[in-house]
Amino acid sequence: MTADEVQRATRSAERRVEPEPSRVRSTVSPPADRRNAAPAASAQSPGRRSASNGTQASSVPPKRRGPWWSLSGIGVWGWVWRVATVLVLAVIVWGVAGYLALDSAVSDANSRISAAGRAQLTPSSGPMITTPTNILFIGSDSRPDQKIPSRSDTMMVMRVDPNKGVIKYLSIPRDTLLTSGPYAHEKINAAYFFGGQAGAISTVKKFTGLSINHIVIVSFTGLSKVVNDLGGITVNNPTPLHNCAYPWPVLHVSFPGGKISLNGTTALEYVRVRDCDTDFQRQQRQQVFLSALKSKIVSPGSLLSAPWNGASLIGALSTDMSTTDLVQLGWAEMTMSQSKAYRYILPGTAQYIGGVDYVINDPVGSAKVLHAFLGT
């Protein structure tokens, strides 16, 4: 072989034994810093890898929320809005059910007011919660077995005055002698006996000079059931009574002064007994009773059942007031002052004439009382 051929053969042999560069690199261990970086790179979130190279999509699906009623993983605010939703729905259901119960009772009570009675009322110039309103309360003293018309046992005007934030009461003694009008020489309570609702309203308007916007006629026998339904009421009795004759049925009753508890039967005795004290003291007891009754119906302890308690009370009433009027009256009861300073009685002198007890009205004193009552 020539020298050139030997050199070519040697170079060819060297090329056959020399390892390929790519294979050598694949068998060489990477440096330590690269080995440590590899796991960190693999631990990166798929989203970040996708963001860095712009090609690799996330392999973890997004977290899916459960249905709105689910309690799984909802967090604090999730609990808050779910509880708030349930409470709002409960209030709506309570309000609708209570309104329907009240509205049904009001419809029946409205039907018991005569067209002649409505004609004597003065329309209000605005809602009760924004406009002073006078409401005439008449207590009927009819007995369960009585077939003839009854005289009014109570005549009281309630004034709701939102401008001053107060509710006032003005009582007219039932034995007050009328000196003019169609019922002259009769007691004022005879106006209801002879003239019915219209006669009572027109007589009170003329006697006091007050406009009457609404009327409420209370059946005392029905009130007994209302008081029992409420679980009784507590009154602060201003006029102690001891061993007083009470004819329905015949018995003697006593009521100490101060706070006393009344059930349906004793409440009826409390507002009707009259043989131990004057007509003026009796008016005071009736004002106290009416205030305590209304306060019990709208008290915080009775708030949840207030619409149904109100419906029970309305069952014992005859009134021209709508459901909306009565709701406004309930709001006024809860928000306005009703202190003793706002309870008035038209003054007069008791006289015994021809074997009959009368109250002779004091015109000067009555004018002062009416001035205070109207707040003018």
Band (108; pLDDT cuts 50, 70, 90): confident
pTM: 0.69
Tens digit of each residue's pLDDT (9 = 90 or more) over 200-246: 999 999 999 999 999 999 887 777 888 888 889 999 999 899 988 88
Band (45; pLDDT cuts 50, 70, 90): very low
Range 60-84 average pLDDT: 64
Domains of the chain: 93-228+298-374 (3.30.420.590)
pLDDT at 181 over 70: yes
pLDDT at 131 over 90: yes
Band (5; pLDDT cuts 50, 70, 90): low
Of 84 and 42, which is predicted with more confidence? 84
State the CB neighbour count (10 A cutoff) for residue 214.
23
Q: Which residues contact 145 (CB under 8 A, 6 or more apart)?
A: none
Average pLDDT, the chain: 79
Band (175; pLDDT cuts 50, 70, 90): very high
Q: What is the pLDDT of residue 307?
A: 61
Of 137 and 22, which is predicted with more confidence? 137
Q: Which residue has the tokens 């939703």?
A: 85
Q: Which residue has the tokens 């003065």?
A: 122
Tens digit of each residue's pLDDT (9 = 90 or more) over 277-294: 778 888 888 888 888 887
Q: Residue 135: exposed, middle, or buried by beta-carbon count in 10 A (0-12, 13-18, 19+)?
A: buried
